[in-house]
Amino acid sequence: MSIAETAGIVVVGASLAGLRGAEALRRNGYSGRLTVVGDEPYRPYDRPPLSKHVLSGELAPDATGLPELDTLDAQWRLGHAAVALDRAARTIRLANGTGLAYERLLIATGAQARPWPAASGGGLEGIFTLRGRDDAARLRTALAGGPARVLIVGAGLIGCEAASCCRDLGLPVTLVDPNPAPLARSLGTWIGSVVADCLRDAGVTFHAGAQVLRFAGDASGRVVRAHLADGRAVEADLVIVALGATRATDWLKGAGLMADAGGVTCDGACRVLGADGTPCPDIYAAGDVARWPNPLYGGRLMSVEHWGNAVAQAAHSGRNMLAPADDQRTYHHLPAFWSSQFGINIKAVGLSEGADAVAIVQGSRASRRFLAVYGRAGRSIAAVSFDQARWLPAYAEAITAGRAFPPIRDASDQGDYLALAPGFPPPRAASTLIEARHG
Amino acid sequence: MTAPTRPVPRETAPLRVVVDLNRCQGYAQCCYAAPGAFEVRGHEILFYDPAPPHARRGEIERAVQACPVRAISLQVEIGDAP
Amino acid sequence: MAEDTLFSEVLDPANRANPYPIYARLRETPVSPQRDGSIVVSGHAAIRSLIFDPRLSSEDLPPSRRPRTGNPLKDWLLNPIKDRIATAHRPLIFRDPPDHDTLRHAVMREFSVARVQALRQRVVRDVDTLIDACRGRDEVCLVEDLSYPLPVSVICDMLGVPEADEPQFQAWATQLATALEPDARHDEASRHRTVAAFDAISGYMRALIRAKRRRPTADMLSALAAPGPDGKAVMGDFDLISTAILLLVAGHETTVNLITNGMLTLLRHPGELERLRADPERAPRVIEELLRYEPPVHFRTRKALGAIEIAGQTIPKGAPVILLFAAANRDPARFDDPDRFDPDREDNQHFGFGGGLHYCMGAPLARIEAEIALVALCRRLVAPRLMADPPPYRPGASLRGPERLGIRISGIAPGQS
């Protein structure tokens, strides 16, 4: 027996995906050595509450530890990130210099917050990003200190949730985003403008179509204002940079895998592809970091940065890791996310990217309780509910089945709807890849 | 119910709870089963305590059972943290 | 027998004691058109899909036809008006969004966690008192001695209906519950009795609400009748009356089945009865499994607002759709060994309280009552034995449960208090 074989399975990423992957391995009968590596010193914890109830102070930052749903009997190697992968030697190297052999590897390293560049003021005190538990703890402490004005850069889901929390705390908030409406990338500007109304009603100052160029600090190195591209300045002593995330793949450089800031590319069974495009039989990926051809969208490569995908894909990869080569199942996934902000529950299914039409099919925009469907080339591709989650499964089913747009006629509470342009901003860069993201 | 072969739970460690909010549809049955740990805000936002005290175990197990979409996961026996 | 007449077998009282073999045959075609044009849905996946489908409407009551009063002028003038009022102010189980949502939200605000929690101790006391009253007897009728009076007294307390008036509306409630039974809805005489019961109970509620407005008390009816913070009524008087009637009828006609079916099932599975007796913490699991295995409401009827394609069938626009929850609860495609009563079953996603936006409003209260009652019965009835198996059943195929449940006992153990 070689060293690699006794090394067992290593899961890199003590994340939601890492945990659910490890559980799937045990559930599917794996009884060998199981090691979970994490860069943070914590067992896997849940992130969604961080930008909501942890910021508001209702939950302690260390309260969101995830339940372990199967007996893992795992070795936890926490506090030191994996920094390199040597496929030939079947080892990974950790930040503290130690090596770790593996027989099979599950990559679940997730993503990291996109920081503000140091050259334009990113190093100033009082500028925060929000991704991990420590980030949330630091930000919570700063918010509790009662800043004079909070500036949030980026009106994606995290930016809007943070804005909602800050208003609940009674803090003055300015939100800046280059798009005409909040959540423009996930929901389009037409639906996003409903959230813009919520922002306004909650007393958030929203600068749409604006860009922060740089931050300026005082003599002690604390941020005092932001300078916008249009010449305006926003005074703020606390800044939250919410510009989305990049996939944590730096450690895979030089490993000969198809990996970049958009993720690590896999085949349909979630096996990671080598640089030559052939799947590695001993390396799988799951969660935010995994980019795979999703059969539900014609095999387009996508990575999905949502909670439900981390859970489902990890379970899928864990199962495939133990299955023989001729029984590798393809991973089908309908992306879904939720967000709560300004007292409204927003839930979405499908991928709205590329939609050419949107229609409110139940409820009304005025009541802020509605269900909207997105269409592309006559097919239904996504749906979002504002406080109408009970109808969403019917639309999820229609989207999975590739039904025509709009998918359901003759529904109750359905007025004469109009299909309108959803108003998606142009893609960030010419690309055939899709990233379902919070940014 | 704990099988006799399971390790004895550490009474002091809080429980761990997570709700799959993709599945949750705001039926609010958990709020009646465990009022101290679950709360619906607005029309359908579920707020919950992910680390309720061990003393609430019975209530939380009721909530797990009562959820019409089985969206609540609970870990009762918490192993030693590293 | 052809499948398109299977549902009439479900309605046949001869099959009331055990409809499950018919359900199994129905499930062979999970979406099954019947000869009368209705569609019976019995598969778990199909029902799960349909309860979220906005094309299934609950506004499907045939217009009532009122009995003639004997005074032709009165019949001609008043009956159509009364019918229109009754139709426009159906209780919310017969309403669609957005009206349904508005009404339900208003009711649920008062059917609050605090109000339900506050009833817990009362339920414990009531159960003990009802069981104490059986001391010295060697047999009990569970329906008469506990499972009927308990939920009635609890809903009266919660709503604020004087329990002394109970004998008056017991018959009305039983008659109104037949509105959920297809047979009764198609029977002219029964419909007339339903209309008469509705008029009578409406009059009673109207007077009661007037009294609550004059002298509000801490109950739910007073709260619903009181003006909101903006000075406007939470709901109009007709909606308030139909809501109050709905809650009262539901309190009379559903939980009784959950408790009676529950004890019947436990008596048929003495091992489970003993386990529950020894470990009351098992109760939540036992209740959920009962809701799957012997649900208090077997089916509900909806109407298709548009054509719906499902499970290889097309439900035509306008068709009545019967969601056979009790059959889906035993679907082998969804549950392992579905005909086995197994409280330890994981992932028990049943339709015991329906699902979707019409999910039973009273579910939390029913769970509390059933849990406290069943645990107390298991602990206090000494050596309980079924006197007749199967017991005689009430007529309803949807609201299905025993009419009487005779249990021979060797004594009553002391209660908690």
Confidence of residue A431 (pLDDT cuts 50, 70, 90): very low
Confidence of residue A439 (pLDDT cuts 50, 70, 90): very low
CB–CB contact C105 B43 (8 Å): yes
Closest residue, chain C, to B38 (C-alpha): C113
The single residue listed with the structure tokens 């793949």 is: A249
Task: List pLDDT tens digits, range C190-241.
Answer: 888 888 888 899 999 999 999 999 999 999 999 999 987 788 888 888 899 9
Confidence of residue A4 (pLDDT cuts 50, 70, 90): very low
H or E, element range at C141: strand C139-141
The pLDDT of residue A413? 83
- Measured between alpha carbons, how far is A13 from A18 in angstroms, rounded to an integer? 5
Give chain A's mean pLDDT: 94
Confidence of residue A324 (pLDDT cuts 50, 70, 90): very high
The single residue listed with the structure tokens 């423009």 is: A184
Confidence of residue C383 (pLDDT cuts 50, 70, 90): very high
Please compute the mean of the pLDDT values over residues A142-150 and round it to a whole number: 98
Task: List pLDDT tens digits, range C242-265.
Answer: 999 999 988 888 999 999 999 999
The vertex-A261 CA angle with A255 and A267, nearest 5°, equals 65
Q: Among residues of chain C, what percentage have pLDDT more than 90?
A: 73
CB < 8 Å to C288, chain B: 65-66
Which 8-state DSSP code applies to residue A355? -
What subunits touch chain C, counting only 3 or more CB pairs under 8 A?
A, B
H or E, element range at C313: strand C313-315
Torsions phi, psi for C32 (to 5 deg): -125, 110
Give chain C's mean pLDDT: 91
CB < 8 Å to C307, chain A: 410
CB < 8 Å to B35, chain C: 113-114, 117
Given C287, C353, C364, which is nearest B32 (Cβ)? C364
Which range (A121-130, B17-26, B48-57, C408-417) has the least confidence?
A: C408-417
Which of A 104-133 lie inside 8 A of C, CB atoms? none
Neighbours of C228 (CB within 10 A): 11
Closest residue, chain A, to C49 (C-alpha): A394
CB < 8 Å to A53, chain B: 47
CB–CB contact B16 A59 (8 Å): no
Torsions phi, psi for C74 (to 5 deg): -60, -45
Whether A2 has a pLDDT exceeding 90, the answer reads no
Between B79 and C348, the higher pLDDT residue: C348
The pLDDT of residue A181? 97
In sequence order, the β-bridge partners of residue C393 are: C402
Task: List pLDDT tens digits, range C115-140.
Answer: 999 999 999 999 999 999 999 999 99
Residue A110 backbone class (left: φ over 0; alpha: ψ -120 to 50; beta: rest)? left
Interface membership of A391 toward C (CB under 8 Å): yes
Confidence of residue B10 (pLDDT cuts 50, 70, 90): low
CB–CB contact C288 B65 (8 Å): yes
**Six-digit token string for C39:** 């569609």
Q: Do domains A118-243 and A336-436 have the same CATH topology?
A: no
The pLDDT of residue A235? 98
CB < 8 Å to C55, chain A: 408-412
In sequence order, the β-bridge partners of residue A129 are: A241
CB–CB contact A411 C49 (8 Å): no
Whether C379 has a pLDDT exceeding 70, the answer reads yes
Whether B72 has a pLDDT exceeding 70, the answer reads yes
The pLDDT of residue A65? 97
CB–CB contact A345 B17 (8 Å): no
Whether C65 has a pLDDT exceeding 80, the answer reads no
Whether A228 has a pLDDT exceeding 60, the answer reads yes
The beta strands (E) that lie in B1-82 are given as: 16-19, 38-41, 45-48, 72-75
Which 8-state DSSP code applies to residue C393? B
Cβ A101 vs Cβ A3: under 8 Å: yes
Whether A5 has a pLDDT exceeding 80, the answer reads no
The pLDDT of residue A256? 97
Confidence of residue A24 (pLDDT cuts 50, 70, 90): very high
Q: Among residues of chain A, what percentage have pLDDT more than 90?
A: 91
Whether B6 has a pLDDT exceeding 60, the answer reads no
Interface membership of A413 toward C (CB under 8 Å): yes
Q: What's the burial of C8, exposed, middle or buried (CB within 10 Å: 0-12/13-18/19+)?
A: middle
- List residues in chain C touching B: CB distance below 8 A: 105, 108, 113-114, 116-117, 279, 281-282, 284-285, 287-288, 347-349, 353, 355, 359, 363-364, 367
Closest residue, chain B, to A73 (C-alpha): B79
CB < 8 Å to C258, chain B: none
The pLDDT of residue C173? 87
Which range (A322-336, A419-433, C259-273, C288-302) has the least confidence?
A: A419-433
Please compute the mean of the pLDDT values over residues B59-64 and round it to a whole number: 97
Alpha carbon separation from A84 to A12, A264, A271 (Å, rounded): 11, 14, 19
Which 8-state DSSP code applies to residue C339? T
Which range (A328-337, A393-402, A404-413) has the least confidence?
A: A404-413
Confidence of residue A73 (pLDDT cuts 50, 70, 90): very high
Confidence of residue B11 (pLDDT cuts 50, 70, 90): low
Interface membership of A69 toward B (CB under 8 Å): yes
Confidence of residue C60 (pLDDT cuts 50, 70, 90): low
For C3-408, CATH gives: 1.10.630.10
- In CATH terms, is domain A336-436 a member of 3.30.420.40? no
CA atoms within 13 A on the CB side of A107: 34
Neighbours of C345 (CB within 10 A): 18
**What length is written for chain A?**
439
Domain ranges in chain C are: 3-408
Please tell me the pTM assigned to this model: 0.93
The pLDDT of residue A430? 43
Dump the DSSP string for C355-378: -GGG--TTHHHHHHHHHHHHHHHH
The alpha-carbon gap from B19 to the nearest alpha carbon of chain A, in Å, equals: 10
Cβ C251 vs Cβ C362: under 8 Å: yes
Domain ranges in chain A are: 3-112+246-327, 118-243, 336-436
The pLDDT of residue B1? 37
Fold assignment, A118-243: FAD/NAD(P)-binding domain (3.50.50)
Whether C66 has a pLDDT exceeding 70, the answer reads no
Torsions phi, psi for C31 (to 5 deg): -120, 105
Please compute the mean of the pLDDT values over residues A195-216 and round it to a whole number: 98
**Six-digit token string for B27:** 């039926």
Q: Which residues does A306 contact at the CB level (< 8 Å), separation at least 6?
A: A335, A336, A337, A436, A438
Given C54, C307, C357, which is nearest A411 (Cβ)? C54
CB–CB contact B61 C349 (8 Å): no
For A3-112+246-327, CATH gives: 3.50.50.60
DSSP β-ladder status, C139-141 and C406-408: antiparallel
- Measured between alpha carbons, how far is C311 from C306 in angstroms, rounded to an integer? 16
The alpha-carbon gap from B72 to the nearest alpha carbon of chain C, in Å, equals: 11
What subunits touch chain B, counting only 3 or more CB pairs under 8 A?
A, C
Confidence of residue B82 (pLDDT cuts 50, 70, 90): very low
Closest residue, chain B, to C345 (C-alpha): B65
Closest residue, chain B, to C115 (C-alpha): B32
Given C52, C98, C307, which is nearest A394 (Cβ)? C52
**To 10 degrees, what angle do helices C149-159 and C113-132 make?**
140
**Six-digit token string for A430:** 């010419």
Q: Which domains does chain B have, with CATH numbers?
A: 16-75 (3.30.70.20)
Which of A 327-366 lie inside 8 A of B, CB atoms? 336-338, 340, 343-345, 347
The alpha-carbon gap from C112 to the nearest alpha carbon of chain A, in Å, equals: 19
Whether B5 has a pLDDT exceeding 50, the answer reads no
The alpha-carbon gap from A398 to the nearest alpha carbon of chain C, in Å, equals: 10
Nearest to C381 by CA among C207, C178, C131, C159: C131
Confidence of residue C170 (pLDDT cuts 50, 70, 90): confident
